[in-house]
């Protein structure tokens, strides 16, 4: 095992242990709100804001498990919204809106976001309060799907993941990509569910190692890139 594999595996096992501990104390989910700065380092190799915006300018982008990011001025959602880019946030928590801004702001700060809280966020029509296996967008209309700290970390049931990857295969155009962070080496993620395996078989899979410089909010790990065949 190389050093990158070792670090990524440690990160993944630590985060999984945190999820198990959170569930044990009755916390089913923690909706964090990482900033565009962190998303740039997680998903775009730390390129500048302008470079990232130019990359996604003509794309349809969907952020799966976006948490309350659309409520913060420094999110990728709001940065794209200000530029007129078709960026969608998908998270069931958006259906109810933010019940406790104080709590969510504290959680956002812990995850490295210090943006302004927006009581009435622009782009509400692109804040989709749904689960990732039933997204109300047309078939083959999406170019890029991002998922930070959600799939395989908090969402770990293989039957649920099977439904989600089947939905991704429907939404993405050929050549479109799903980027998921954080992951251990792919070979260490076992998949026993035949439906999930069948859905994964529609993608080419590659990984890239990510170091963000913020080991608390975004520790070193792999980003897995699924490209639709």
Ligand X SMILES: C[S@@+](CC[C@H](N)C(=O)[O-])C[C@H]1O[C@@H](n2cnc3c(N)ncnc32)[C@H](O)[C@@H]1O
Nearer to ligand X, 53 or 149 (CB): 149
Give the one residue of 74, 81, 91, 167 binding ligand X; rule: CB under 6 A. Answer: 91
Dihedral angle, C-alpha 101, 125, 134, 36, nearest 10 °: -60
137 binds ligand X (CB under 6 A): no
Nearer to ligand X, 53 or 66 (CB): 66
Find out whether 127 and 50 touch, Cβ atoms under 8 Å.
no
| The one segment of 1-9, 24-32, 53-61, 136-144 that binds ligand X by CB under 6 A | 24-32
154 binds ligand X (CB under 6 A): yes
Nearer to ligand X, 86 or 149 (CB): 149
Nearer to ligand X, 49 or 93 (CB): 93
Find out whether 39 and 89 touch, Cβ atoms under 8 Å.
no
Which residues in 102-121 contact ligand X (CB under 6 A)? 111
224 binds ligand X (CB under 6 A): no
Smallest gap from Cβ 152 to ligand X, in A, equals 11
The closest of 161, 162, 175, 167 to 203, measured between CA atoms, is 175
Alpha helices in the chain (DSSP H): 3-24, 36-43, 49-56, 76-82, 101-110, 158-171, 194-200
Residue 104 CA to residue 99 CA, distance in Å, equals 9
148 binds ligand X (CB under 6 A): yes
């Amino acid at each position: 095992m190389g050093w990158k594999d070792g670090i990524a595996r440690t990160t993944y096992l630590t985060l999984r242990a945190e999820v198990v501990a959170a569930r044990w104390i009755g916390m089913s989910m923690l909706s964090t709100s990482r900033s565009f700065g962190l998303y740039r380092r997680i998903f775009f190799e730390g390129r500048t804001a302008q470079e990232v915006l130019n990359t996604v300018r003509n794309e349809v982008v969907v952020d799966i498990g976006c948490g309350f990011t659309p409520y913060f001025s420094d999110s990728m959602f709001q940065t794209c919204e200000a530029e007129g880019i078709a960026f969608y946030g998908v998270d069931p928590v958006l259906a109810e809106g933010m019940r406790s801004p104080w709590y969510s702001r504290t959680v956002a700060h812990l995850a490295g976001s210090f943006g302004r809280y927006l009581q009435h966020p622009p782009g509400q029509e692109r804040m989709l309060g749904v689960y990732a296996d039933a997204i109300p967008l047309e078939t083959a209309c999406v170019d890029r799907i991002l998922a930070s700290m959600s799939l395989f970390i908090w969402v770990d049931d293989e039957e649920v993941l099977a439904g989600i990857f089947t939905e991704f295969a429907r939404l993405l155009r050929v050549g479109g990509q799903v980027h998921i962070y954080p992951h251990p080496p792919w070979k260490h993620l076992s998949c026993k569910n035949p439906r999930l395996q069948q859905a994964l078989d529609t993608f080419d899979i590659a990984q890239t190692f990510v170091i963000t410089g913020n080991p608390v909010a975004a520790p070193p790990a792999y980003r897995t890139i699924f490209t639709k065949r």
